[in-house]
Amino acid sequence: MEVIKVEGGHPLGGEVTVEGAKNSALKLMAATLMAPGVTTLTNVPNIADVHVMGKVLKYMGAKIDVLGVHTLKIDTSEVDKWETPYHLVAQMRASTAVLGPLLSRFGKAIVAMPGGCNIGARKIDMHILGLEALGVKFDIDHGNIHATTPNGLNGTVVTLDFASVGATENLMMASVHAKGITTIDNAAREPEIVDLANLLNEMGAKVRGAGSPVIEVEGVSEDLHPVEHRVVGDRIEAGTFVAMAGLAGGPVTVKGFEPVHLGLVLKKFELMGLNIVRGPHQCTVSRKGSIHSIDIQTLPFPGFPTDMQAQTMCLLAQGDSSCVITENVFENRFMFASELQRMGADIRIEGHHAIVHGVQKFSGAEVKSPDLRGGAALVMAGLVADGVTTVSDIHHIDRGYERFVQKLTGLGAKVERVEVPDPEIVD
Ligand code: UD1
């Protein structure tokens, strides 16, 4: 098995460029199903989750050419299956993003029911309720969701209980050809939603209001047409490097994203004592004094992103006093804390609150990535820990960070991927 080894204590400095956003690229790839022909996506990150979405599309009959590393030409003209099997959904829950596009193009879809995942149950009830309101009939059978549209899709008002990213996206895509107007109320407002709406509009859809809590989709009767589109920069990858620079001291310039997409994160980091200079598509981060302990709570955009919670906890674990981090988006997203405790952090979990008492130092240890962002945050802790930190289960990190080790090495970190024997299994 492969692990990431980090030797602590080396300063970080220089420049790093982030890739296109994972959470956008996956949905844009799914949306290509709606426009028969060859859609070109540029700035696509070369990460494991994108490879899984590629497998999903190919399973349905799409052809994919990779140009260079970051450009995908996706030909969906011969797609003749509307089914996503469990072995693919089990690898990546976001495979369910094909539900909306398949309903829109074929009026039917079979998608394996996602199981729980390590950051919580991650239900899809809001996707189902919203699509039912548009006229979709669902049957759940042998672990698969069978969706049909016996009377077509009809625009209506769908009010989401929670501003779910995935439900907003599936509804936006399913309603592109629905009769009349579909209104998604309490819609998610993430930059990736806006990127998807832009792609759909370039393809000929009529989506208005993306980025606000009310999205209107006016159904069009013509087929969508393929286009060329650049994936928005990854604000979470950028935020991860910003947090790392803040912990290690910097200065580091992070390029390839829109600082406004990290608005509240950068503001909170400034309150924590980081010095951040914003520029066009980049920011430069450094820190001289101590890290100030402040409370954080995660919320849908423009609130503080849950995907930045672990990296922020890592910073606050070296804060100058105590604070509370409240996780409002996912249950079970504090597994990272117990690994960080192994490195000397002082964190107590109470329900969806983490009480964090700052410590002066982390000590290098063997730790395990609990999930994608938690894995990155453990490598981050290793950058400033005494001695060597070994992070295992790094397949989580590979899901969402391209050339993570190379990028950190480029900033001056002492970090490498190392093959180690599998630990012995003891019953
Ligand atoms: C997406 C992102 C993920 C990010 C999250 C929140 C992708 C591939 N993933 O996940 O990185 O952390 O947004 O910003 O884009 N929920 C329900 N029922 C539903 C749908 C969601 O109860 O039908 C719950 C979820 O369990 C979770 C919360 O709502 O607790 C938010 O989920 P959602 O916004 O849908 O996140 P994802 O789209 O899964």
For 212-229, the pLDDT digits (tens) are 999 999 999 999 999 999
Which atom of ligand 1 sits closest to the CA of residue 306? 12
Instruction: For residues 315-339, give the mean pLDDT.
Output: 95
Q: Is residue 352 scored above 70 in pLDDT?
A: yes
Of 117, 283, 314, 323, the active-site residue reads: 117
Other beta carbons within 10 angstroms of residue 361's beta carbon come to 11
pLDDT, residue 138, reads 94
Rounded distance from Cα 165 to ligand 1 centre (Å): 6
The distance of Cα 289 from the centroid of its chain, to the nearest Å, equals 31
Please write the tens of the pLDDT for every residue from 131-159: 999 999 999 888 889 999 999 999 999 99
Other beta carbons within 10 angstroms of residue 5's beta carbon come to 18
Rounded distance from Cα 329 to ligand 1 centre (Å): 8
At residue 93 the predicted structure's pLDDT band, cuts being 50, 70 and 90, is: confident
Rounded distance from Cα 389 to ligand 1 centre (Å): 31
Ligand 1 site, residue 125, Cβ cutoff 6 A: yes
pLDDT, residue 156, reads 97
Please write the tens of the pLDDT for every residue from 97-120: 999 999 999 999 999 887 655 545
Please write the tens of the pLDDT for every residue from 20-58: 999 999 999 999 999 999 999 999 999 999 999 999 999
Ligand 1 site, residue 323, Cβ cutoff 6 A: no
Rounded distance from Cα 366 to ligand 1 centre (Å): 30
pLDDT, residue 95, reads 87
Q: CA-to-CA distance for 214 and 192, rounded, in angstroms?
A: 15
Q: Is residue 348 scored above 70 in pLDDT?
A: yes
- Among protein residues, the one whose CA lies closest to atom 1 of ligand 1: 165
pLDDT, residue 185, reads 98
Ligand 1 site, residue 166, Cβ cutoff 6 A: yes
Instruction: For residues 404-414, give the mean pLDDT.
Output: 98
Supply angle C-alpha 327, 307, 358, rounded to 5. 60
Q: CA-to-CA distance for 414 and 316, rounded, in angstroms?
A: 23
| DSSP single-letter state for residue 183 | E
Mutate to test the pocket of ligand 1, among 122, 173, 399 (most ligand atoms within 8 A of CB): 122
pLDDT, residue 85, reads 84
Cβ neighbours of residue 272 under 8 Å, at least 6 residues apart?
246, 291, 292, 293, 294, 315, 316, 319
Please choose, from the candidates 217, 262, 221, 222, the residue with its C-alpha nearest in 3D space to the C-alpha of residue 243: 262
Q: What percent of the chain has pLDDT over 70?
A: 97
At residue 324 the predicted structure's pLDDT band, cuts being 50, 70 and 90, is: very high
Strands 282-286 and 296-297, by their bridges, are unpaired
pLDDT, residue 86, reads 87
Instruction: For residues 243-248, give the mean pLDDT.
Output: 98
Q: Is residue 426 scored above 80 in pLDDT?
A: no
pLDDT, residue 140, reads 86
Q: Is residue 83 scored above 70 in pLDDT?
A: yes
- Among protein residues, the one whose CA lies closest to atom 36 of ligand 1: 165
pLDDT, residue 73, reads 98
Higher pLDDT, 89 or 367: 367
Please write the tens of the pLDDT for every residue from 161-193: 999 999 999 999 999 999 999 999 999 999 999
Supply angle C-alpha 376, 21, 116, rounded to 5. 65
Q: Is residue 122 scored above 70 in pLDDT?
A: no
Residue 51's φ and ψ, nearest 5 degrees, are: -65, -40
Q: What is the mean pLDDT of the chain?
A: 95
Q: CA-to-CA distance for 17 and 226, rounded, in angstroms?
A: 28
pLDDT, residue 419, reads 92
Which atom of ligand 1 sits closest to the CA of residue 164? 34
The sheet carrying 108-112 orders its strands as 83-84, 108-112, 144-148, 137-141
Q: Is residue 79 scored above 70 in pLDDT?
A: yes
